[in-house]
Structure 1
Amino acid sequence: MSKQVDLALACDLNDRTRALHDGTVKPEGIDLTFLPLQIEETFWRMLKHQEFDAAEMSMSSYMITCDRNDPELIAIPVFPSRFFRHSCIFVNADAGIDKPEDLAGRKVGVPEYQMTAALWCRGALQHEYGVAPEEMEWYHGGEEDAGREEKLELDLPDSIHLEYIPSERTLSGMLADGDLDALITARTPSSFETDSVERLFENYREVEMDYYRNTGHFPIMHTVVLRQDVYDERPWVAQELYKCFNEAKRICLEELHDTGELQRALPWLIDEVERTRDLMGWDFWPYGIDDNRETLEFMTQMAHEQGLTDRRLSVEEIFAPTTFDEYKV
């Protein structure tokens, strides 16, 4: 019997990846160690130290590495995290911000300028409402705990105003106090529980559904990357992982519509699934390049527009060539 390739994968454990974690789906020729770490830890350790053979990765941070070729990583076209982010723009209730256009000239906080949630929010503000990143002042730092830093050092154009908040302050507290007018963040700030903070889009579900109808974008947050040396030594590993992530997701999507027993603790889960499929189709969480090309091209456009990359990347250069012939679910 031929020896299995040992491979450590750091990835969030959710319904799209559970079958990989529990061994229901096993990659051929690979002895997979699935490390279910928090994504912030995974991103930091992979970008700073390349500790894992493969890892879930912030899509925007990964595009920065492609632009710089540092660190040397290569992605497979699976997207374990996707999220409509209109719900993630919070404003101070007394700042007089009633519509997106009111953010022009305002102080906007963000845990990291490079985070993918912020990439998509800035893209929506610019392309849907005409408010470009250059028209806002950006402040970054810890949301609930002081001292958060960017995972990768940024070299933004002079037109982008970005500075750290005071080391002892937090973004959530500054928003509540009125020292920030708005906050873009992937995690709901604790200050949202007070009367001082509200969402910019209170009817965010309707706004996000309209956004999908108008653009076709279901925003991609994360991809999965291999260290370049792992891929160079065994290119077939990328395709095998790609196939397995697809199979794990297929199992998830089938289970969601199991009417024998609810697979999630949501009373009207079946109605939600059916409504989503009416709008987005059976596979509303597509992997692969072809089924996501327009969204991926928009992401490379936004990364360049927002100063994260010096040039606009091509879709082909950011994914492993061995995954171009896509495995369909």
Structure 2
Amino acid sequence: MTAALWFRITLKDLHGVEAKDNVWYNGRTKSLSHGGALGLHNNGPAGVTHHWLTVDQTLDVMLDRGEIDACTAIRPQARVTAGDTTVVDRWGGTPIDGNPRLMKLLDDDGKGVVYEFYRKTGCFQANHHVIVQNRILKEHPWVALELYKAFQRSKEVAYERAWRAQSAYLFFPGKDFGEQAAIFGDDPYPLGVRAMGKTVERAIRGSMEQGLLRRPLRLEDIYYRTTLNT
């Protein structure tokens, strides 16, 4: 999960905490996890202790019992889904609000950490890529750049709408465009290799540091040649 990758990168870059310094629990079962699909249970990160939860375990219950010290995200649901093999992020029914055994670590929902990380590294904590199969690019090499242009234009339209509905434009709840722009500039969701290359390279290094990659990748190994100048 990309969020977990950036979480560990942030711990390292801001506080010097390595991935191997903690024991990690994946809240998803092996069968419904990105790591399970990639076979990390057979050849996982060297030196990093990692566990998948069973279908009957949930992060909220483990946190409430003191079986784990912290959790990046808990999403209460309308019903208890522990034991349900069809649910990706299961919920054990633990009361959150007013629970004396639980404490919110970041009162600002992580806003200060995200801002500090960008100030120090110049990297966004970006998630997800659009992937095009090589067979399609071989037959239709124009596809990659046209997809980039389409997403760029759709972002511009979204920005125009966001000025009328500010919360859609902001990373965190609030209405202060100036505060966010002072950190990230007027384009908080940049696209293209030039704008995001540094971020992708940090994600690659982080994957190497955390044992998720066996060899480094170059940007030209990832992005199609027609998009390298975007």
Which of 97, 122, 142 is the matching residue for 1:236?
142
Alignment of 1:155-304 (within 5 A): 155-185=43-73, 188-190=74-76, 191=94, 192-193=96-97, 195=99, 196-203=101-108, 204-258=110-164, 262=165, 271-304=175-208
2:90 corresponds in structure 1 to none
* In 2: Cα distance, 1:312 partner to 1:197 partner: 39
* In 2: Cα distance, 1:178 partner to 1:294 partner: 38
* Misfit runs of 4+, over 4 Å: 263-266
Superimposed CA distance per residue, residues 257-278 of structure 1 (whole angstroms, 9 cap, x where no aligned partner): 24xxx47689xx9943333223
Aligned residues: 203
Cα distance, 1:177 vs structure 2: 1.6
Superimposed CA distance per residue, residues 147-172 of structure 1 (whole angstroms, 9 cap, x where no aligned partner): 64333211224311112233321122
2:213 corresponds in structure 1 to 309
2:225 corresponds in structure 1 to 321
* In 1: Cα distance, 2:194 partner to 2:104 partner: 34
Name the one with the larger helix percent. 2
Q: Is the 8 A contact 2:31 2:37 kept in 1?
A: no
Structure 2 letter corresponding to 1:290 = R
2:87 corresponds in structure 1 to none
Q: Is the 8 A contact 1:142 1:171 kept in 2?
A: no
Structure 1 portions without partners, runs of 5+? 1-114
1:119 corresponds in structure 2 to 5
Q: Is the 8 A contact 2:28 2:52 kept in 1?
A: no
Q: Which has the higher contact order (CA 8 A, sep 6+)?
A: 1
Cα gap change, 1:322/1:147 in structure 2, threshold over 3 Å: closer, same or farther?
closer
* In 2: Cα distance, 1:157 partner to 1:182 partner: 21
Cα gap change, 1:201/1:264 in structure 2, threshold over 3 Å: closer, same or farther?
closer
Q: Cα RMSD (Å) of the superposition?
A: 2.6
Cα gap change, 1:244/1:147 in structure 2, threshold over 3 Å: closer, same or farther?
closer
Structure 2 portions without partners, runs of 5+? 77-93
Specify the SS of the correspondent of 2:132: strand
Q: Is the 8 A contact 2:162 2:168 kept in 1?
A: no
* In 2: Cα distance, 1:197 partner to 1:270 partner: 25
Q: Report sequence identity in percent.
A: 31
Cα gap change, 1:184/1:271 in structure 2, threshold over 3 Å: closer, same or farther?
closer
Cα distance, 1:184 vs structure 2: 2.9
Cα distance, 1:218 vs structure 2: 1.9
Cα gap change, 1:271/1:301 in structure 2, threshold over 3 Å: closer, same or farther?
same
Structure 2 letter corresponding to 1:288 = G
Cα gap change, 1:283/1:166 in structure 2, threshold over 3 Å: closer, same or farther?
closer
Cα gap change, 1:140/1:280 in structure 2, threshold over 3 Å: closer, same or farther?
closer
* In 2: Cα distance, 1:265 partner to 1:123 partner: 26
1:64 corresponds in structure 2 to none
* In 2: Cα distance, 1:127 partner to 1:263 partner: 31
Specify the SS of the correspondent of 2:211: coil
Name the one with the larger strand percent. 1
Cα distance, 1:198 vs structure 2: 2.9
Q: Is the 8 A contact 1:134 1:160 kept in 2?
A: yes
